[in-house]
């Protein structure tokens, strides 16, 4: 008996009737493929209800009882406990779309699920998985071509169009009612950091987003200058400093510790006195040098080895009127240096006036329930932006952050590739229609696969109308008819519940979001199709 026969269940034996070794051998890959497709489709169905402006939100609870409310596909999948290895591929797919485009993370998974359904039908017809996979790749390339043909070029100076695309992205989020405030913030912040030297890309790390509880999402603001979420460490020291000289240090102002876990035992009072005196002299020396360099605002990087500041140091800084802000995170170092146009100072010897940055004003301000420090009038500032997101509770605040991230990504997409397309299911239905026509010119399995691919694209308008409470079959067929009559921009008007020219509704999205959704979804479907076995290893 061969191994594959042994693995077969009794049911399989009955199906194949025990006859024909070939069939017995083939049945395992088929089963595996089927189970992979089922698992991935189930996951895609789970996020389907979140698509579009009328999509629902998910409440996610983690084992610690922490709750997240979100509408973002990537976040939902990322937090789900997915066990099946094929379903995990969809989680990765959503992440890939998040990295590539930032938006369209729900669409990409819904599309992949639908394409898998199409592949399943083709498999049932007896078409070989490799043939399906190749055909789908060709169909995806053709779809991208169709999308490019229907796209509209956009100029970065065309603020209106940028605002519209940011609004479309925000419309389908929990914070949609705040899109009027958030869209201009997203557009302005990305445009502010576009580097003329590297025009075709922007680094979103140059936008620092701070979340502060208190107030509402309307109070979210783009700050002119730099904002640090820490408050000052001074007790009686200055909270406001005009004509600031800022030093950013990476060493600590506290007594040094021994390298290993050693103990120093002090046995008499004289020795104790000496230790205290030494400490005082050590810290005073550092503070004096800092003061001598003319610094009046000191930033200290967070350290895991010892306290950044001892109580004694705080006392001295208070006395010498130096404002101190500690616990600057390591990942913020680059952003901070770029914004302030300075370099971090790694040792006291390098603490010299030329290494300091200058700003007109540094002050501690109250935002909501906590404080933060604002720098304004920075000399030669780098191209960076600080945003303060506000929200009345943590759930809202986090979701506002994720939604704003999507909107920022949409604008980044438009900087990368300056083309827009209509939304509301218009691009998908147009791709579907043109692919279908193209399929009629093909022969062999390609013709079948192209048709199946074209049909699968209809899932987006279908789901959009389903989620909006419309009749999906009626809406999609009407949409198809309107496109057949040449109305390339006809889309689902979710607000009015009808089909209309979606450009007039100002629903536009970046071309890159749609093209990358189709290519990435197809890529994942192809790799799922090509898997014929799951092997578990004993190594952990």
Q: Which are the catalytic amino acids?
A: 72, 105-106, 406
Instruction: Find the shortest distance in angstroms from Cβ 460 to ligand ADP.
Output: 6
Q: With binding defined as CB under 6 A, does residue 507 bind ligand ADP?
A: yes
> Minimal CA–CA distance to 243: which of 107, 357, 160, 350?
357
Binding string, 175-214, against ligand ADP, x = CB under 6 A?
----------------------------------------
Instruction: Find the shortest distance in angstroms from Cβ 117 to ligand ADP.
Output: 18
Q: With binding defined as CB under 6 A, does residue 105 bind ligand ADP?
A: yes
From the list ligand ADP, Mg ion, none, pick the one residue 510 interacts with, judged by a Cβ distance below 5 to 8 Å according to partner type. Answer: none
Tokens representing 1 are 């008996």
Q: Work out the number of other CB atoms within 10 angstroms of the CB of residue 395.
A: 16
From the list ligand ADP, Mg ion, none, pick the one residue 107 interacts with, judged by a Cβ distance below 5 to 8 Å according to partner type. Answer: ligand ADP
CB under 6 A: which stretch of 168-176, 180-188, 283-291, 311-319 binds ligand ADP?
168-176
From the list Mg ion, ligand ADP, none, pick the one residue 424 interacts with, judged by a Cβ distance below 5 to 8 Å according to partner type. Answer: ligand ADP
Tokens 């691009």 sit on residue: 427
CA distance 312 to 300: 16
Runs of H (alpha helix) within 417-531: 426-439, 445-457, 459-467, 472-484, 511-529
Q: With binding defined as CB under 5 A, does residue 332 bind Mg ion?
A: no
Q: With binding defined as CB under 6 A, does residue 368 bind ligand ADP?
A: no
Tokens representing 282 are 């050590």
From the list ligand ADP, Mg ion, none, pick the one residue 105 interacts with, judged by a Cβ distance below 5 to 8 Å according to partner type. Answer: ligand ADP
Q: Which residue is nearest to ligand ADP (CB)?
A: 423
Instruction: Find the shortest distance in angstroms from Cβ 149 to Mg ion.
Output: 23
Binding string, 22-61, against ligand ADP, x = CB under 6 A?
----------------------------xxxx-x------
Cα dist. 64→60, 67, 68, 233 in Å?
Answer: 11, 9, 12, 32
Cα dist. 378→78, 335, 345, 356 in Å?
Answer: 39, 14, 19, 12
Is the distance from CB of 495 to CB of 168 less than 8 angstroms? no
Binding string, 147-176, against Mg ion, x = CB under 5 A?
----------------------x-------
CA distance 144 to 421: 12
Q: With binding defined as CB under 6 A, does residue 510 bind ligand ADP?
A: no
Tokens representing 455 are 């049909």
Out of 48, 73, 408, 449, the residue judged to bind ligand ADP by CB under 6 A: 73
The DSSP element (H or E) to which 378 belongs, if any, is: strand 370-378
Q: With binding defined as CB under 5 A, does residue 100 bind Mg ion?
A: no
> Minimal CA–CA distance to 467: which of 502, 494, 503, 491?
494
Out of 12, 98, 100, 103, the residue judged to bind Mg ion by CB under 5 A: 103
Q: With binding defined as CB under 6 A, does residue 168 bind ligand ADP?
A: yes
Is the distance from CB of 143 to CB of 435 less than 8 angstroms? yes
Instruction: Find the shortest distance in angstroms from Cβ 51 to ligand ADP.
Output: 5
Q: With binding defined as CB under 6 A, does residue 102 bind ligand ADP?
A: no
Instruction: Find the shortest distance in angstroms from Cβ 52 to ligand ADP.
Output: 4
The DSSP element (H or E) to which 244 belongs, if any, is: strand 240-249
Q: Which residue is nearest to Mg ion (CB)?
A: 103
Per-position DSSP letters for 424-450, written without gaps between them = TTHHHHHHHHHHHHHHTT--THHHHHH
CA angle (378, 383, 386) in 5-degree steps = 75
Runs of H (alpha helix) within 101-233: 105-124, 129-149, 159-171, 179-193
Binding string, 396-425, against ligand ADP, x = CB under 6 A?
---------------------------xx-
Helix (H, G, I), strand (E, B) or coil at 499: strand
Backbone angles phi, psi at 210, to 5 degrees: -110, 135
Site for Mg ion in 352-391 (CB under 5 A): none
Runs of H (alpha helix) within 341-420: 394-416
CB under 6 A: which stretch of 103-111, 197-205, 268-276, 381-389 binds ligand ADP?
103-111
Residues that bind Mg ion (CB under 5 A): 103, 169
Residues that bind ligand ADP (CB under 6 A): 50-53, 55, 71, 73, 103-107, 168, 171-172, 423-424, 460, 464, 492, 494, 507, 509
């Amino acid at each position: 008996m061969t191994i594959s026969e042994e693995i077969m269940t009794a049911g399989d034996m009955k199906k194949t009737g025990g006859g024909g070794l070939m069939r017995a051998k083939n049945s395992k890959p088929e089963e595996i493929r089927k189970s992979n497709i089922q698992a991935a489709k189930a996951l895609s169905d789970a996020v389907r209800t979140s698509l579009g402006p009328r999509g629902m939100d998910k409440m996610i609870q983690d084992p610690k009882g922490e709750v997240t409310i979100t509408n973002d596909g990537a976040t939902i999948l990322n937090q789900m406990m997915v066990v099946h290895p094929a379903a995990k591929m969809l989680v990765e797919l959503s992440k890939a779309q998040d990295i590539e485009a930032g938006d369209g993370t729900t669409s990409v998974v819904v599309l992949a699920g639908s394409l898998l359904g199409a592949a399943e039908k083709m498999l049932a017809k007896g078409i070989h998985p490799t043939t399906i996979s190749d055909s789908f790749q060709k169909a995806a390339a053709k779809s991208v071509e169709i999308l490019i043909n229907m796209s509209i070029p956009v100029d970065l100076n065309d603020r209106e169009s940028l605002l519209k695309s940011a609004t479309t992205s925000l419309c389908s989020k929990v914070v949609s009612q705040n899109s009027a405030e958030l869209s201009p913030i997203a557009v302005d912040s990305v445009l502010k950091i576009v580097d003329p030297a590297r025009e075709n890309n922007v680094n979103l790390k140059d936008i620092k987003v701070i979340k502060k509880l208190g107030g509402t999402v309307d109070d979210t603001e783009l700050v002119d200058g730099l904002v640090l979420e820490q408050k000052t460490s001074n007790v009686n020291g200055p909270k406001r400093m005009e004509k600031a000289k800022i030093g950013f240090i990476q060493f600590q102002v506290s007594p040094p510790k021994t390298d290993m876990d050693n103990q120093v035992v002090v046995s008499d009072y004289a020795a104790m006195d000496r230790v205290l005196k030494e400490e005082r002299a050590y810290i005073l020396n550092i503070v004096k040098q800092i003061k001598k360099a003319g610094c009046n605002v000191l930033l200290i990087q967070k350290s895991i080895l010892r306290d950044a500041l001892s109580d004694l140091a705080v006392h001295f800084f208070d006395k010498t009127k130096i404002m101190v802000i500690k616990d600057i995170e390591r990942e913020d170092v680059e952003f901070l240096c770029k914004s302030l146009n300075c370099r971090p100072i790694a040792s006291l010897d390098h603490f010299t006036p030329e290494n300091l940055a200058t700003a007109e004003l540094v002050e501690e301000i109250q935002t909501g329930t906590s404080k933060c420090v604002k720098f304004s009038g920075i000399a030669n500032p780098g191209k960076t932006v600080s945003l303060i997101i506000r929200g009345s509770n943590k759930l809202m605040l986090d979701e506002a952050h994720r939604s704003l991230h999507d909107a920022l990504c949409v604008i980044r997409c438009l900087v990368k590739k300056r083309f827009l397309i209509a939304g509301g299911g218009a691009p998908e239905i147009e791709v579907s229609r043109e692919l279908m026509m193209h399929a009629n010119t093909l022969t062999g399995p390609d013709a079948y696969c192209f048709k199946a691919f074209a049909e699968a694209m209809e899932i987006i308008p279908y789901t959009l109308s389903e989620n909006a409470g419309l009749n999906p079959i009626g809406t999609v067929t009407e949409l198809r008819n309107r496109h057949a009559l040449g109305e390339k921009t006809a889309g689902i008007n979710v607000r009015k519940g009808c089909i209309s020219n979606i450009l007039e509704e100002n629903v536009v999205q970046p071309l890159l979001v749609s093209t990358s959704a189709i290519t990435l979804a197809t890529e994942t479907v192809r790799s799922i199709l090509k898997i014929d076995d799951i092997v578990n290893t004993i190594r952990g």
